[in-house]
A and B are shown apart, each in its own frame.
Chain A
Amino acid sequence: MTTYIIRRLVMAIPLLIGITIISFAIVQMAPGDPTSLLMDPNISPADRAKFMEKYGLNDPIYIQYFKWVGNMLQLDFGSSLLKKGTPVTELIMNRLPNTLLLMLVSTIFAFLISIPFGIYSATRPYSKTDYSVSVISFLGLATPNFWLGLMLIMFFSVKLGWFPTGGVSTLDAPFNVWDRIHHLILPAFVLASADMATLTRHTRSSMLDVTKQDYMRTARAKGFKERTVIYKHGLRNGLTPIITIFGILLPTFIGGSVIVETVFSWPGIGRLFIESAFSRDYPVIMGLTVLSSVFVVLGNIIADILYAITDPRVEY
C-alpha cells in the first residue's frame, strides 16, 4: 500500500500544477484589481499606479506566474497585498486551525447523526419513520445555511441564551475547553446540516441495497440476531459508498464554511477566502487555492485508504 500511496502523491503533482495555472489565470482575468477598493478622492491615480508597480502587478501574467511558482517552491507564498507585509502563510496558519476544528467536529456530527438514521430508515423502508427521516433530510438539504445559522442564533443565543452568538471563544478570556466546545456547537451543527441530509440519504439507499443481498439472507438463516446481521454483515458493506462521499465532502467543507464562518464570526479560512477574493488579494487567493487543492487530493487518498480498510476485496 505504501508504494500505492507514493504513486498517488506523485501523480498529484501535475494535477496541482494544472490547478495553479488555471486558478492563477482565472484570478487575474477577473475584472478589477487590488486597487479597486481605493475609491477615495484622497488617493490619486499616481499613487495607485505606484502600488501596482511595486507589487509587480503590471507584469505580464506568465511572468507573475513564474515568479509566484518560483517563490512557492521555496515555500514562500508571498505576502498579502491588503494587509501589507503580512505573509500569506501567517494569515492562513492563524485561521486554518479554526477551520479544521470546525470541519472535524461537524464531520463527526454529520456521521454520528446521519449513519444511524440512514440505517434505521433502511431497515424499515417505507415506514412512517422512514418518511419522516426523508422529509427532515430534504428540509436540511433545502435550508440555506445562513438562514439556519441566523435562526439558531436568534433562538438559542438571543432568546434562550444557551449558546454564544459567535466567535471561537469568549472575548479576551483565558483558554477553556468547555468554552471552546460551547462556541463550536451551533456552527458545527449548521455546517453539518446539509451534509447530514446527503449522508442520511446515501446511507439509506446503500444499506437498502445491502439488505437485499444473499449473504444477508444467509446470515439470517444461520440464526444470527438481526442486530448482528445489520451491523456486522450489512454495515461494513453498506459503508463503502459512504467513504467515497466522505472523500468528496472533505474539501467542500472549506467552501461550505464560508457562510457558516461569516454568520458565526468564526475566524477561519473560508472567510479569509471570500475577503481576499473581494479585495483581489491575489497572493492570499493563490495560497488558499493551493491549500484546498492539497485538501482535495488528500481527501481522495484518505478515502482510498479507508476503502481498503472496510472492504477486504480492495487491495493496493
Chain B
Amino acid sequence: MKLKKATWLLLSLTLVFSLFLSACGTESTTDESPETNEEQTNEEATNEEQASGDPQYGGTLIMGSIGAPTLFNPLYSTDTASSDIEGLIYSAPVSSDTSFEVEYDLASDIQTTEDGLTYTVTLRDDVKFHDGEQLTADDLVFTYSIPISEDYVGERASSFEMIDTITKIDEYTVEFKLKQKDATFLPTTLSYEILPEHILKDVPIGDLGEDDFNTKTPIGSGPFKFEEWKDGQYVKVVRNDDYFQGKPYLDAIIYKIVPDANALIAQLQAGDVDYFPGVPGSDIETVKEWAPEAGVKIESGLSLAYTYLGYNQKNELFQDKQVRQALTHAINREAIIDGVLNGDGEVANVPESPLSWAYNSDVPVFEYDVNKAKQLLEEAGWTDTDGDGILDKDGKKFTFEIKTNQGNKIREDIVVVLQQQLKEIGIEVTPNIMEWSAYIEAISAPNWDYDALVLGWALSTFPDQYDIFHSSQREEGLNFVWYSNPEADVLIEEAKQIIDRDKYKQAYGDIYKIIAEDQPYTFLYYPNTHQAMPENLEGYIFHARNDLYRTHEWWLKQE
C-alpha cells in the first residue's frame, strides 16, 4: 500500500513536471531566432561614422500598444493594432498627408474623366514585394476584386461597392469604372493596401479571411517586412532594403502589446518601451515630469476624433430642436475640458476636426449660458410647476438617463459632471455605465434603448457624414440618435457626387451649419493625443491619424 501511494505521488509529480517541461520546450523552440541583438546593431551604426545631422542607419524601435492585433490583411481586419502593422507591411495606391490631403504612394498618376465615373490609376514600376516579385497592375486588380466578389466574407465591402468594373490596361495601369460618382473613391477606397496576387491567387475568395497568409506569412511592399508574431507579446517587422520610397533607417520595429495603460507607462519610464503614441491626457503631466530623465520626448496635438452627448430623437423629450439647443447652452464644455480632461482638449461645435481641410467653424454656436437655457426650455413648455426643483411639462418630469461605456474613465466622469450641470437648470440625469458590448447592443439598431449617451467618433481623413447623420441610416446604420433633416439629407447626398475638393468643402460647410443648428448631439470636445518617443528619434512627423507615418524616414541618433 505504501509503495502504491508513493507511485501515485510520483505520477502526479511527473504530470506536473511534464507540463512544466513542455512549457519550456515550446518556448525555447519559438524563441530560437538568430537575431542580432541591439548592442551589435549599435556597434555597426557607430562604425559607419556618419556626419552629425545626417540620418543614421540602425536601431530597433519598440512601440507600445494596449490593443493586440488580430490579423494582417487590410480587407479583413477591423482593429487599430492590426491596421498599424498593415501600414508597415503593405502599401496602398494613395495615403493621406498630415492635413489629410491625398498623397500618392504606390500610384504615380491618377486620372479622372469629366463625368467622374472612370479612374485610371498608374502604378510605380519600381515596386517589389518582400519576396522579390514585382508589384504590377495584376496585384491591384486582384486585391480590389476581392471585396466586390459575391463570395467575400469581410467587413469592408461597403468601401468598394461603388466599383463597377476593374480592368487592367497595361502592366502598370488599371482602369476603374464606377457605378455612380463617388467622392470617397479616391481618398478612401484607393487607400486600401495591395495584396500579392502571385501568392493568394489560388485561395478561394471565401476562405481568404482565414488563410494562414494573414497571420503567419503576410507579404507586402511596405517599408518593413513581417518577421514574427508572438500572440499576446509582440509583432516584429524588419527593414525592407528594397522599399520603393527609400531604404528605411531603422533595423526593426517591435510592436509590443502591453494591455494595461499604467503598466505601459511604467515600461516607457523604464525604457522597455520606446514609443507610445497614446499617453492618456490624465497621465501626461506626470509623464512630462520624468520624461527628460528617462530620455523621452513628447509630441502633442489634436487627435482626429470628437466626443459627444447624443440625444435619442425617438424619445419625445428630445424631439424639439429648441430643447436640444437649451441642453447645449446648459452644458459647460469648458468646465468639462478643464475638470475632467485637465484642459487637454478643445470645445467642439461640428462633427469635423479643426485639423481637416474640410473644417468649417462658421456655424451656430450655443455657448454656456444657463439663463438662455432656462428661457429656451420655458418657451418649449418646460417649467417647474410643482416646485420640486425639476422641470415638468404636461405632468411629465424632465428626467433622463445618460449611458456610456465602462472602462473609459473620462466618459464615466463626464456623465457625472453632466448630471451636476443639468441639475442646475432643473433636469434630473441618471448615469448608467455599461460594459462595451452590452452598451453597443443597447444603443444601436434595432434596440435604441437609451435616452442620451456619451460616445466618441474617430473621424476618417475624408469627411463623409452620410453614415452617421443621413436619415436613411436610422433603421440599420449608425444614425442611432434618429436624426433626420430632409435638407441635410439632400445636401449630404449631393456632396457625395462632388469630386472637386473646394466645392466639397463648401457643401460640407452648409451641412455642418444645419447639423450644428439642429444639435442632434451636443458636440463636447476634440481630445488631444500625446505621443511619447525617444529623445534621439529623428525624422518623425506628427500625424493625427497615423501613429506610424513615414516610418522609413525615422532614425535614431547615436551619440
* Most chain B Cβ neighbours within 10 Å, of A86, A104, A169: A86
In the complex with contacts A37-B79, A262-B259, A83-B215 CB distance below 8 A: yes
* Most chain B Cβ neighbours within 10 Å, of A37, A100, A167: A167
Closest A residue to B206 using CB positions: A54
- Chain A nearest CB from B275 CB (Å) reads 14
A265:B438 contact, CB within 8 angstroms? no
Among the stretches B68-76, B87-95, B116-124, B372-380, the one at the interface with A is B68-76
With a cutoff of 8 Å between Cβ atoms, the chain B residues found around residue A178 in the complex are none
Q: How far is the CA of A37 from the CA of B233 in the complex (A)?
A: 22
With a cutoff of 8 Å between Cβ atoms, the chain B residues found around residue A279 in the complex are 437
Residue in B78, B79, B267, B444 whose CB lies within 8 Å of A166: B267
With a cutoff of 8 Å between Cβ atoms, the chain B residues found around residue A173 in the complex are 31, 37
B266:A40 contact, CB within 8 angstroms? no
Complex interface bits, B148-183 against A, C-beta within 8 A gives 1, otherwise 0: 000001111111000000000000000000000000
Residue in B8, B33, B76, B440 whose CB lies within 8 Å of A84: B76
With a cutoff of 8 Å between Cβ atoms, the chain A residues found around residue B157 in the complex are 44, 46-47, 50
Q: How far is the CA of A97 from the CA of B21 in the complex (A)?
A: 9
> Does A94 sit at the interface, judged by CB under 8 A?
yes
Interface size on A, residues (CB 8 A): 75
* A residues 78-123 touching B (CB-CB < 8 Å): 79, 82-86, 91, 93-98, 100-101, 104
B214:A85 contact, CB within 8 angstroms? yes
Residue in A37, A98, A172, A265 whose CB lies within 8 Å of B23: A98
- Chain A nearest CB from B42 CB (Å) reads 14
In the complex with contacts A31-B441, A32-B437, A100-B23, A150-B263 CB distance below 8 A: yes
B441:A33 contact, CB within 8 angstroms? yes
Residue in A46, A98, A265, A278 whose CB lies within 8 Å of B437: A278
With a cutoff of 8 Å between Cβ atoms, the chain A residues found around residue B23 in the complex are 96-98, 100-101
- Chain A nearest CB from B356 CB (Å) reads 15
B232:A84 contact, CB within 8 angstroms? no
With a cutoff of 8 Å between Cβ atoms, the chain A residues found around residue B438 in the complex are 30-32
With a cutoff of 8 Å between Cβ atoms, the chain A residues found around residue B437 in the complex are 30-33, 36-37, 278-280
In the complex with contacts A1-B8, A262-B259, A82-B70 CB distance below 8 A: yes
Complex interface bits, A29-56 against B, C-beta within 8 A gives 1, otherwise 0: 0111100111111111111101100100
Closest A residue to B272 using CB positions: A165
> Does B304 sit at the interface, judged by CB under 8 A?
no
> Does B506 sit at the interface, judged by CB under 8 A?
no
A168:B233 contact, CB within 8 angstroms? yes
Q: How far is the CA of A48 from the CA of B441 in the complex (A)?
A: 13
Q: How far is the CA of A95 from the CA of B27 in the complex (A)?
A: 10
With a cutoff of 8 Å between Cβ atoms, the chain B residues found around residue A44 in the complex are 157-158, 477
B78:A38 contact, CB within 8 angstroms? yes
Closest B residue to A42 using CB positions: B159
In the complex with contacts A98-B23, A158-B270, A263-B155 CB distance below 8 A: no
Complex interface bits, B12-54 against A, C-beta within 8 A gives 1, otherwise 0: 1000100110111011100111110100000000000000000
Complex interface bits, B421-454 against A, C-beta within 8 A gives 1, otherwise 0: 0000000000000011111111011000000000
A84:B236 contact, CB within 8 angstroms? no
In the complex with contacts A41-B468, A100-B23, A265-B156 CB distance below 8 A: no
* A residues 245-299 touching B (CB-CB < 8 Å): 262-265, 267-268, 271-272, 275, 278-280
Q: How far is the CA of A94 from the CA of B263 in the complex (A)?
A: 23
- Chain B nearest CB from A273 CB (Å) reads 12
With a cutoff of 8 Å between Cβ atoms, the chain A residues found around residue B196 in the complex are none
A157:B156 contact, CB within 8 angstroms? no
With a cutoff of 8 Å between Cβ atoms, the chain B residues found around residue A141 in the complex are none
A165:B5 contact, CB within 8 angstroms? no
23 A–B pairs (Cβ distance < 8 Å), ordered by A: A30-B437, A31-B437, A31-B438, A32-B441, A39-B444, A42-B188, A44-B157, A45-B445, A50-B153, A54-B153, A86-B215, A93-B26, A97-B22, A157-B266, A161-B270, A169-B27, A175-B31, A180-B27, A262-B263, A263-B263, A265-B263, A278-B435, A308-B8
A residues contacting B by CB (< 8 A) are 1, 30-33, 36-48, 50-51, 54, 79, 82-86, 91, 93-98, 100-101, 104, 146, 149-150, 153-154, 157-158, 161, 164-169, 171-175, 180, 262-265, 267-268, 271-272, 275, 278-280, 302, 305-306, 308-309, 315
Q: 3 shortest A-B CB distances, which residue pairs? A: A85-B210, A32-B437, A267-B232
